[in-house]
Chains A and B, each alone.
Chain A
Amino acid sequence: MNKSTSTRRAYSPVISALILSTVVLVVGGGVWAFSQGAMRIIADDYAENLMNMTDTISERFIIEQVMYNSEMSTLHVWVFNYGNVDIDIKVRIGDVTYSENWIHIASGEMVAIDPIDIIVNTGDELNVNTFSRRNNNAYYRYLVP
Protein backbone atom coordinates (compact mmCIF):
# COMPACT_ATOMS: atom_id res chain seq x y z
CA MET A 1 0.00 0.00 0.00
CA ASN A 2 2.78 2.34 0.96
CA LYS A 3 4.75 1.40 -2.10
CA SER A 4 1.80 2.17 -4.31
CA THR A 5 1.44 5.68 -2.80
CA SER A 6 5.14 6.33 -3.29
CA THR A 7 4.91 5.36 -6.96
CA ARG A 8 1.97 7.66 -7.58
CA ARG A 9 3.79 10.60 -6.01
CA ALA A 10 6.89 9.99 -8.12
CA TYR A 11 5.22 10.01 -11.54
CA SER A 12 3.03 13.05 -11.18
CA PRO A 13 5.80 15.70 -10.93
CA VAL A 14 7.67 14.13 -13.81
CA ILE A 15 4.61 14.24 -16.02
CA SER A 16 3.91 17.82 -15.04
CA ALA A 17 7.50 18.77 -15.74
CA LEU A 18 7.31 17.05 -19.10
CA ILE A 19 4.10 18.86 -19.91
CA LEU A 20 5.60 22.16 -18.81
CA SER A 21 8.71 21.59 -20.87
CA THR A 22 6.66 20.58 -23.87
CA VAL A 23 4.55 23.68 -23.52
CA VAL A 24 7.68 25.82 -23.21
CA LEU A 25 9.19 24.15 -26.26
CA VAL A 26 6.05 24.46 -28.34
CA VAL A 27 5.31 28.05 -27.36
CA GLY A 28 9.00 29.01 -27.51
CA GLY A 29 9.40 27.35 -30.89
CA GLY A 30 6.34 29.16 -32.13
CA VAL A 31 7.62 32.47 -30.85
CA TRP A 32 11.02 31.70 -32.37
CA ALA A 33 9.54 30.89 -35.77
CA PHE A 34 7.24 33.89 -35.64
CA SER A 35 10.13 36.15 -34.60
CA GLN A 36 12.31 34.95 -37.46
CA GLY A 37 9.52 35.41 -39.98
CA ALA A 38 8.52 38.78 -38.62
CA MET A 39 12.10 40.02 -38.45
CA ARG A 40 12.75 38.86 -42.00
CA ILE A 41 9.64 40.64 -43.26
CA ILE A 42 10.52 43.80 -41.33
CA ALA A 43 14.11 43.71 -42.57
CA ASP A 44 13.12 43.07 -46.20
CA ASP A 45 10.49 45.77 -46.07
CA TYR A 46 12.94 48.23 -44.55
CA ALA A 47 15.61 47.36 -47.12
CA GLU A 48 13.13 47.71 -49.99
CA ASN A 49 11.98 51.09 -48.73
CA LEU A 50 15.58 52.14 -48.36
CA MET A 51 16.38 51.03 -51.91
CA ASN A 52 13.38 52.97 -53.21
CA MET A 53 14.51 55.98 -51.24
CA THR A 54 18.04 55.56 -52.63
CA ASP A 55 16.65 55.49 -56.16
CA THR A 56 14.53 58.55 -55.39
CA ILE A 57 17.46 60.60 -54.17
CA SER A 58 19.61 59.28 -57.04
CA GLU A 59 17.38 60.70 -59.75
CA ARG A 60 18.99 63.54 -61.66
CA PHE A 61 17.42 65.02 -64.76
CA ILE A 62 17.05 68.37 -66.50
CA ILE A 63 14.94 69.85 -69.23
CA GLU A 64 17.75 70.47 -71.65
CA GLN A 65 15.92 72.29 -74.42
CA VAL A 66 12.47 73.60 -75.24
CA MET A 67 11.40 74.78 -78.67
CA TYR A 68 8.08 75.99 -80.04
CA ASN A 69 7.27 75.32 -83.66
CA SER A 70 4.84 78.10 -84.53
CA GLU A 71 3.94 76.60 -87.92
CA MET A 72 2.86 73.28 -86.45
CA SER A 73 1.80 74.76 -83.09
CA THR A 74 3.80 72.14 -81.28
CA LEU A 75 6.09 72.40 -78.33
CA HIS A 76 9.20 70.23 -78.30
CA VAL A 77 10.87 69.28 -75.05
CA TRP A 78 14.17 67.45 -74.58
CA VAL A 79 14.89 65.84 -71.22
CA PHE A 80 18.32 64.58 -70.17
CA ASN A 81 18.65 61.94 -67.46
CA TYR A 82 22.18 62.39 -66.14
CA GLY A 83 21.62 60.34 -62.98
CA ASN A 84 22.51 56.73 -62.30
CA VAL A 85 18.99 55.33 -62.32
CA ASP A 86 16.39 55.02 -65.05
CA ILE A 87 13.43 57.35 -64.72
CA ASP A 88 9.82 57.59 -65.85
CA ILE A 89 8.55 61.08 -66.42
CA LYS A 90 5.56 63.11 -67.51
CA VAL A 91 5.46 66.66 -68.86
CA ARG A 92 3.30 69.36 -67.38
CA ILE A 93 2.89 72.89 -68.72
CA GLY A 94 1.29 75.21 -66.23
CA ASP A 95 -1.33 73.05 -64.56
CA VAL A 96 -1.97 70.69 -67.46
CA THR A 97 -0.22 67.34 -67.74
CA TYR A 98 0.32 66.52 -71.40
CA SER A 99 1.78 63.01 -71.25
CA GLU A 100 -0.75 60.23 -70.86
CA ASN A 101 1.79 57.49 -70.24
CA TRP A 102 5.03 57.55 -68.34
CA ILE A 103 8.00 58.23 -70.61
CA HIS A 104 10.97 56.02 -69.79
CA ILE A 105 14.44 57.54 -69.95
CA ALA A 106 17.45 55.31 -69.31
CA SER A 107 20.38 56.54 -67.28
CA GLY A 108 22.64 58.85 -69.29
CA GLU A 109 20.17 59.30 -72.13
CA MET A 110 18.45 62.33 -73.60
CA VAL A 111 14.97 61.90 -74.98
CA ALA A 112 12.94 64.18 -77.21
CA ILE A 113 9.41 64.07 -75.86
CA ASP A 114 6.67 63.66 -78.45
CA PRO A 115 5.60 67.09 -79.73
CA ILE A 116 2.95 68.67 -77.56
CA ASP A 117 0.05 70.33 -79.37
CA ILE A 118 -0.37 73.73 -77.81
CA ILE A 119 -1.21 77.17 -79.16
CA VAL A 120 0.75 80.01 -77.64
CA ASN A 121 1.68 83.51 -78.72
CA THR A 122 4.99 85.25 -79.09
CA GLY A 123 6.10 86.59 -75.75
CA ASP A 124 4.13 84.06 -73.73
CA GLU A 125 5.95 82.55 -70.83
CA LEU A 126 5.60 78.82 -70.37
CA ASN A 127 6.48 77.04 -67.17
CA VAL A 128 7.50 73.60 -68.35
CA ASN A 129 7.73 71.00 -65.63
CA THR A 130 8.73 67.37 -65.86
CA PHE A 131 8.03 65.18 -62.89
CA SER A 132 9.12 61.63 -62.30
CA ARG A 133 7.22 58.66 -60.95
CA ARG A 134 9.29 59.08 -57.81
CA ASN A 135 8.05 62.67 -57.47
CA ASN A 136 11.20 64.52 -58.48
CA ASN A 137 10.84 67.63 -60.63
CA ALA A 138 12.74 69.61 -63.21
CA TYR A 139 11.60 73.03 -64.37
CA TYR A 140 12.21 75.20 -67.43
CA ARG A 141 10.92 78.69 -68.00
CA TYR A 142 10.43 79.20 -71.71
CA LEU A 143 9.73 82.52 -73.38
CA VAL A 144 8.05 81.92 -76.73
CA PRO A 145 10.13 83.73 -79.40
Chain B
Amino acid sequence: MHIIGISFRKGTAPILGTIIFVGILFTAVIPMLLYLRQADTLYEMRKHELEIMDEERTSENIIFYALPLNDPPRLSFIIENRGESPTTIERIWLNDEPEIIGESLSSMSVSEIGPIGVPEVEESYIIKLTTDRGNIFIPSSGIPTYDPNSGEWQMDSFTIFIMMTETKSQLHILVNHTHDGGSSIDPPVTYFDDDVDNNQPGYSISVPLPGEYYVKVTRWHGTPSEEELYPLSGTGLVYLGLTSPTVLIII
Protein backbone atom coordinates (compact mmCIF):
# COMPACT_ATOMS: atom_id res chain seq x y z
CA MET B 1 0.00 0.00 0.00
CA HIS B 2 2.82 2.30 0.86
CA ILE B 3 4.68 1.59 -2.42
CA ILE B 4 1.51 1.91 -4.54
CA GLY B 5 0.67 5.17 -2.82
CA ILE B 6 3.97 6.81 -3.70
CA SER B 7 3.69 5.78 -7.37
CA PHE B 8 0.10 6.96 -7.65
CA ARG B 9 0.84 10.24 -5.97
CA LYS B 10 3.85 11.14 -8.10
CA GLY B 11 2.57 10.21 -11.60
CA THR B 12 -1.14 10.64 -11.91
CA ALA B 13 -1.71 14.40 -11.92
CA PRO B 14 1.00 15.33 -14.45
CA ILE B 15 -0.08 12.49 -16.70
CA LEU B 16 -3.69 13.61 -16.52
CA GLY B 17 -2.63 17.21 -17.15
CA THR B 18 -0.61 16.16 -20.16
CA ILE B 19 -3.47 14.07 -21.51
CA ILE B 20 -5.84 17.00 -21.12
CA PHE B 21 -3.36 19.35 -22.80
CA VAL B 22 -2.85 16.98 -25.72
CA GLY B 23 -6.59 16.45 -25.88
CA ILE B 24 -7.24 20.16 -26.09
CA LEU B 25 -4.55 20.45 -28.73
CA PHE B 26 -6.00 17.70 -30.91
CA THR B 27 -9.70 18.27 -30.38
CA ALA B 28 -9.91 22.06 -30.28
CA VAL B 29 -6.82 23.91 -31.46
CA ILE B 30 -5.76 21.79 -34.44
CA PRO B 31 -9.31 21.36 -35.82
CA MET B 32 -9.82 25.09 -35.49
CA LEU B 33 -6.60 25.83 -37.34
CA LEU B 34 -7.56 23.36 -40.07
CA TYR B 35 -11.03 24.93 -40.28
CA LEU B 36 -9.56 28.43 -40.58
CA ARG B 37 -7.09 27.22 -43.17
CA GLN B 38 -9.93 25.65 -45.14
CA ALA B 39 -11.94 28.86 -44.97
CA ASP B 40 -8.88 30.83 -46.10
CA THR B 41 -8.40 28.42 -48.99
CA LEU B 42 -12.03 28.82 -50.07
CA TYR B 43 -11.66 32.60 -49.87
CA GLU B 44 -8.49 32.53 -51.93
CA MET B 45 -10.15 30.26 -54.48
CA ARG B 46 -13.09 32.64 -54.76
CA LYS B 47 -10.74 35.58 -55.09
CA HIS B 48 -8.85 33.80 -57.83
CA GLU B 49 -12.11 33.03 -59.66
CA LEU B 50 -13.08 36.67 -59.44
CA GLU B 51 -9.70 37.75 -60.80
CA ILE B 52 -10.21 35.43 -63.76
CA MET B 53 -13.74 36.81 -64.24
CA ASP B 54 -12.42 40.37 -64.18
CA GLU B 55 -9.65 39.50 -66.63
CA GLU B 56 -12.19 37.91 -68.97
CA ARG B 57 -14.35 40.99 -68.64
CA THR B 58 -11.42 43.26 -69.49
CA SER B 59 -10.42 41.16 -72.48
CA GLU B 60 -13.95 41.00 -73.84
CA ASN B 61 -13.90 42.51 -77.30
CA ILE B 62 -17.05 42.85 -79.35
CA ILE B 63 -17.43 44.73 -82.57
CA PHE B 64 -20.86 45.22 -83.98
CA TYR B 65 -22.63 47.12 -86.69
CA ALA B 66 -26.18 48.34 -86.95
CA LEU B 67 -27.58 47.71 -90.41
CA PRO B 68 -30.64 49.81 -91.21
CA LEU B 69 -33.35 48.14 -93.28
CA ASN B 70 -36.33 49.73 -94.97
CA ASP B 71 -40.02 48.86 -95.54
CA PRO B 72 -40.75 48.81 -92.66
CA PRO B 73 -37.86 50.46 -90.82
CA ARG B 74 -35.83 47.91 -88.93
CA LEU B 75 -32.36 47.53 -87.52
CA SER B 76 -30.32 44.40 -87.88
CA PHE B 77 -27.07 43.81 -86.02
CA ILE B 78 -23.90 42.04 -87.11
CA ILE B 79 -22.00 41.11 -83.96
CA GLU B 80 -18.49 39.74 -83.90
CA ASN B 81 -16.90 38.36 -80.76
CA ARG B 82 -13.20 39.12 -81.18
CA GLY B 83 -12.31 38.17 -77.62
CA GLU B 84 -10.74 34.97 -76.38
CA SER B 85 -13.73 33.87 -74.30
CA PRO B 86 -17.28 33.06 -75.31
CA THR B 87 -19.79 35.67 -74.39
CA THR B 88 -23.52 36.18 -74.11
CA ILE B 89 -25.29 39.21 -75.50
CA GLU B 90 -27.80 40.12 -72.82
CA ARG B 91 -29.45 43.19 -74.29
CA ILE B 92 -29.38 45.68 -77.12
CA TRP B 93 -30.54 49.16 -76.20
CA LEU B 94 -32.31 51.30 -78.81
CA ASN B 95 -32.24 54.66 -77.09
CA ASP B 96 -33.92 53.86 -73.76
CA GLU B 97 -35.63 50.63 -74.72
CA PRO B 98 -33.85 47.38 -73.93
CA GLU B 99 -34.33 44.44 -76.28
CA ILE B 100 -33.61 41.17 -74.49
CA ILE B 101 -31.36 39.02 -76.65
CA GLY B 102 -29.66 36.34 -74.55
CA GLU B 103 -27.61 34.97 -77.44
CA SER B 104 -24.29 33.23 -76.85
CA LEU B 105 -21.34 33.87 -79.10
CA SER B 106 -18.26 31.69 -79.10
CA SER B 107 -14.83 33.22 -79.50
CA MET B 108 -13.99 34.64 -82.93
CA SER B 109 -17.49 34.05 -84.26
CA VAL B 110 -19.97 36.31 -86.00
CA SER B 111 -23.71 36.37 -85.54
CA GLU B 112 -26.59 38.38 -86.95
CA ILE B 113 -29.29 39.51 -84.56
CA GLY B 114 -32.58 40.98 -85.57
CA PRO B 115 -34.03 42.66 -87.43
CA ILE B 116 -35.74 44.69 -84.73
CA GLY B 117 -38.58 46.90 -85.88
CA VAL B 118 -38.59 50.60 -85.06
CA PRO B 119 -41.44 53.11 -85.26
CA GLU B 120 -41.84 55.09 -88.47
CA VAL B 121 -40.99 58.42 -86.93
CA GLU B 122 -37.97 60.63 -87.35
CA GLU B 123 -35.59 59.52 -84.70
CA SER B 124 -31.90 58.94 -84.14
CA TYR B 125 -31.00 55.72 -82.42
CA ILE B 126 -28.25 55.58 -79.85
CA ILE B 127 -27.48 51.89 -79.73
CA LYS B 128 -25.72 50.00 -76.97
CA LEU B 129 -25.03 46.35 -76.42
CA THR B 130 -24.63 44.77 -72.97
CA THR B 131 -22.91 41.45 -72.33
CA ASP B 132 -23.37 39.09 -69.40
CA ARG B 133 -20.02 40.26 -68.05
CA GLY B 134 -21.35 43.78 -67.67
CA ASN B 135 -19.53 45.33 -70.60
CA ILE B 136 -21.27 47.87 -72.78
CA PHE B 137 -20.33 48.27 -76.43
CA ILE B 138 -21.40 50.78 -79.03
CA PRO B 139 -21.72 50.08 -82.74
CA SER B 140 -18.88 50.96 -85.08
CA SER B 141 -21.40 52.06 -87.68
CA GLY B 142 -22.42 55.26 -85.89
CA ILE B 143 -25.85 56.62 -85.08
CA PRO B 144 -28.59 55.75 -87.61
CA THR B 145 -31.38 58.26 -88.13
CA TYR B 146 -34.65 57.34 -89.78
CA ASP B 147 -36.34 59.88 -92.01
CA PRO B 148 -40.04 58.95 -92.45
CA ASN B 149 -40.48 61.40 -95.35
CA SER B 150 -37.95 59.74 -97.59
CA GLY B 151 -38.29 56.35 -95.94
CA GLU B 152 -34.50 56.16 -95.80
CA TRP B 153 -31.93 55.84 -93.10
CA GLN B 154 -29.04 58.23 -92.67
CA MET B 155 -25.79 57.42 -90.93
CA ASP B 156 -23.64 60.04 -89.32
CA SER B 157 -20.35 60.83 -91.04
CA PHE B 158 -16.85 60.96 -89.65
CA THR B 159 -14.32 63.72 -90.12
CA ILE B 160 -10.57 64.03 -90.13
CA PHE B 161 -9.69 67.64 -89.51
CA ILE B 162 -6.17 68.79 -90.34
CA MET B 163 -5.11 72.07 -88.82
CA MET B 164 -2.11 73.80 -90.32
CA THR B 165 0.09 75.98 -88.15
CA GLU B 166 2.22 77.00 -91.09
CA THR B 167 0.28 78.29 -94.09
CA LYS B 168 3.28 78.95 -96.28
CA SER B 169 4.17 75.34 -96.77
CA GLN B 170 2.73 73.15 -99.51
CA LEU B 171 0.73 70.06 -98.61
CA HIS B 172 -0.38 66.80 -100.07
CA ILE B 173 -2.85 64.71 -98.09
CA LEU B 174 -3.47 61.01 -98.46
CA VAL B 175 -6.24 59.25 -96.49
CA ASN B 176 -6.55 55.48 -96.76
CA HIS B 177 -9.17 53.35 -95.01
CA THR B 178 -7.16 50.43 -93.63
CA HIS B 179 -9.46 48.75 -91.13
CA ASP B 180 -13.22 48.84 -90.78
CA GLY B 181 -13.20 47.90 -87.11
CA GLY B 182 -13.94 44.27 -87.90
CA SER B 183 -11.25 43.32 -90.38
CA SER B 184 -8.40 44.80 -92.37
CA ILE B 185 -9.14 46.34 -95.74
CA ASP B 186 -6.66 45.01 -98.24
CA PRO B 187 -5.91 46.84 -100.46
CA PRO B 188 -6.84 50.00 -98.55
CA VAL B 189 -9.56 52.25 -99.95
CA THR B 190 -8.28 55.73 -100.76
CA TYR B 191 -10.73 58.47 -99.81
CA PHE B 192 -8.45 61.41 -100.43
CA ASP B 193 -5.19 61.83 -102.35
CA ASP B 194 -4.62 65.37 -103.48
CA ASP B 195 -2.76 68.65 -103.10
CA VAL B 196 -4.41 71.01 -100.65
CA ASP B 197 -4.96 74.73 -100.80
CA ASN B 198 -2.87 75.93 -97.90
CA ASN B 199 -4.31 79.43 -97.63
CA GLN B 200 -6.83 78.28 -95.04
CA PRO B 201 -5.87 77.28 -91.50
CA GLY B 202 -7.70 73.99 -91.52
CA TYR B 203 -8.87 71.34 -93.89
CA SER B 204 -11.55 68.73 -93.20
CA ILE B 205 -11.95 65.41 -94.95
CA SER B 206 -15.22 63.54 -94.46
CA VAL B 207 -15.25 59.78 -94.59
CA PRO B 208 -18.41 57.68 -94.58
CA LEU B 209 -17.36 54.78 -92.39
CA PRO B 210 -15.80 54.33 -88.98
CA GLY B 211 -12.59 52.42 -88.50
CA GLU B 212 -8.89 52.91 -88.80
CA TYR B 213 -7.42 55.35 -91.32
CA TYR B 214 -3.88 55.88 -92.49
CA VAL B 215 -3.21 59.58 -92.87
CA LYS B 216 -0.10 60.86 -94.61
CA VAL B 217 0.53 64.55 -94.87
CA THR B 218 3.45 65.53 -97.05
CA ARG B 219 4.72 69.02 -96.44
CA TRP B 220 7.54 70.79 -98.15
CA HIS B 221 9.04 74.24 -98.48
CA GLY B 222 9.84 74.91 -102.08
CA THR B 223 11.24 71.52 -102.93
CA PRO B 224 9.25 68.31 -102.54
CA SER B 225 12.32 66.44 -101.36
CA GLU B 226 12.05 67.75 -97.79
CA GLU B 227 9.11 65.59 -96.92
CA GLU B 228 7.67 65.40 -93.50
CA LEU B 229 5.20 62.76 -92.44
CA TYR B 230 2.27 63.04 -90.14
CA PRO B 231 1.28 61.99 -87.49
CA LEU B 232 4.10 62.58 -85.10
CA SER B 233 3.49 59.25 -83.39
CA GLY B 234 4.96 57.65 -86.46
CA THR B 235 2.14 55.13 -86.83
CA GLY B 236 0.27 57.21 -89.37
CA LEU B 237 -3.00 55.76 -88.09
CA VAL B 238 -6.07 57.46 -86.64
CA TYR B 239 -9.25 55.81 -85.44
CA LEU B 240 -12.76 57.10 -86.02
CA GLY B 241 -15.75 55.72 -84.17
CA LEU B 242 -18.91 56.70 -82.39
CA THR B 243 -16.99 57.99 -79.41
CA SER B 244 -14.50 59.84 -81.60
CA PRO B 245 -16.28 60.83 -84.83
CA THR B 246 -13.79 63.63 -85.39
CA VAL B 247 -10.02 63.47 -85.24
CA LEU B 248 -7.92 66.61 -85.12
CA ILE B 249 -4.44 66.55 -86.57
CA ILE B 250 -2.22 69.57 -85.99
CA ILE B 251 0.78 70.05 -88.27
Contact = CB atoms under 8 A, between A and B. Distances in A.
Nearest to B38: A47
B222 interface: no
Contacts of A31: 20, 24
B232 interface: no
Given A14-B5, A42-B32, A46-B39, A82 B134 contact: yes
A64 B136 contact: yes
B62 to A, nearest CB: 15
B96 interface: yes
Interface in B132-182: 132-134, 136
A24 B96 contact: no
A80 to B, nearest CB: 6
Interface residues of B, number: 41
A24 B98 contact: no
A76 B96 contact: yes
A58 to B, nearest CB: 6
A14 B2 CA distance: 9
Given A50-B40, A53-B43, A78-B98, A25 B16 contact: yes
Given A80-B134, A108-B132, A54 B29 contact: no
Contacts of B1: 10
Contact of A50 (B39, B50, B134): B39
Contacts of B36: 43, 46-47
Nearest to B128: A65
B27 A32 contact: yes
A21 B12 contact: yes
Interface residues of A, number: 41
B28 A35 contact: yes
Interface of A: 6, 9-10, 13-14, 16-17, 20-21, 24-25, 28-29, 31-32, 35-36, 38-40, 42-43, 46-47, 50, 53-54, 57-58, 60-62, 64-65, 67, 76, 78, 80, 82, 108, 110
Interface of B: 1-2, 5-6, 8-9, 12-13, 16-17, 19-21, 23-24, 27-29, 31-32, 35-36, 39-40, 42-43, 46-47, 50, 53, 90-91, 93, 96, 98, 128, 130, 132-134, 136
The 5 closest A-B pairs by CB, nearest first: A28-B20, A82-B134, A17-B9, A39-B32, A67-B96
30 contacts: A13-B5, A13-B6, A17-B5, A21-B16, A24-B13, A24-B17, A28-B16, A28-B19, A31-B20, A35-B28, A38-B28, A39-B29, A43-B35, A43-B39, A46-B39, A50-B39, A50-B40, A50-B43, A54-B42, A54-B43, A58-B46, A62-B136, A65-B96, A65-B128, A67-B96, A76-B96, A80-B90, A82-B133, A110-B90, A110-B91
